[in-house]
Structure 1
């Protein structure tokens, strides 16, 4: 037997204002997307904004359905639209923000497991890390320089 130690590094800023203007603008677009979310069941609203290497910004929001598994998260909504509209573009960075009508969200809220897997697919495909910024409605912002920090034991095409 041998031990496998996994370490990850995130950077946490106390507030969005500590980040550069380009990141603040991207997060603002994620907030605008969050405001368009359809979440009548969970009351949990998520917005995502992707900056592509061609300069385009793609946004997405979570879209729920009474048949719960039929809904789609904000991150995947944005990623799949970007892949469909700009198939050759690379995702440079992603901003994600979440707010709840039930609880105040002041801590950074990372993408869910399914979204991490979807982000991983695009990071592997483009062979370039995707920088991910995530936050609640207010407060601290966490930054990961790659999806690999959020999903260290990645399942990808190499396993197939």
Structure 2
């Protein structure tokens, strides 16, 4: 047996103002997208903004349903919309901002497992990493260079 450590570099910014300009703008778009989330049950609003290689920015927000599994997270709404509207475009980065209607969200929320899997699928498909930028309502902003950082040992088409 051997022991193997899996690690990655995570950039931690005190505020979004420390981000590069393009990342700041992408995060602002995600913040605006979360304002239109439909979350009457969880009261948890999430917005996502995707930057494509063609310069286009695509947004998504969570859409809930009384039949919980029928809803979709902001990340998947944005990913699927980007793929449908701009097939073949490379996804460069995704900014995700979450907040609660019940309390002040002072830390970032990472994508759920299903969203990580979908983002991973697109990384494998395009053979290029997708940077992930995370922010709550206030507080630190986190950035990693690839979904594989936060989803090591991902299941993908190589297993099929």
Q: Tell me the equivalent position of 1:13.
A: 13
> Shift of the alpha carbon at 1:7?
1.3
Distance in 1 between the 2:135 and 2:32 partners?
Answer: 14
1:141 aligns with 2:141: yes
Q: Please list, as runs of the form range in 1=range in 2, the aligned pairs for 1:1-160 lying within 5 A after superposition.
A: 1-160=1-160
TM value normalised by structure 2: 0.97
* CA–CA distance in structure 1, aligned partners of residues 62 and 3 of structure 2: 39
C-alpha displacement of 1:8: 2.2
For structure 1, which runs of at least 5 residues remain unmatched after alignment? none
1:82 is paired with a residue whose SS is: helix
> How far has the Cα of 1:6 moved from its partner?
1.4
The alignment's TM-score, normalised by the length of structure 1, stands at 0.97
Once the two structures are superposed, what CA deviation does each residue of 1:45-97 show, in whole Å capped at 9, x if it has no partner?
00000000001000000000000000000000000010111111000011000
1:25-58 CA deviation, whole Å, 9 max, x = no partner? Answer: 1111101110000000000000000000001000
Once residues 158 and 70 of structure 2 are traced to their aligned partners in structure 1, the CA distance between those partners, rounded to angstroms, is 28
Structure 1 stretches of at least 4 aligned residues deviating more than 6 Å after TM superposition: none
Higher mean C-alpha deviation, range 5-14 or range 126-135: 5-14
Q: Report the secondary structure of 2:28's partner residue.
A: helix
Secondary structure of the residue that 1:93 maps to in structure 2?
strand
1:17, distance to aligned residue in structure 2 (A): 0.4
Deviations 1:87-131 (A, max 9, x none): 110000110000001222111211111100000000000001001
In structure 2, how many angstroms separate the alpha carbons of the residues matched to 1:131 and 1:37? 23
SS of residue matched to 1:155: coil
2:65 partner SS: coil
Q: 1:2 deviation in Å? A: 2.3
- Number of residue pairs matched? 160
Supply the distance in 2 between the matched residues of 1:41 and 1:54 (Cα, whole angstroms): 36
Q: Secondary structure at the residue paired with 1:48?
A: strand
Q: Secondary structure at the match of 2:143?
A: strand
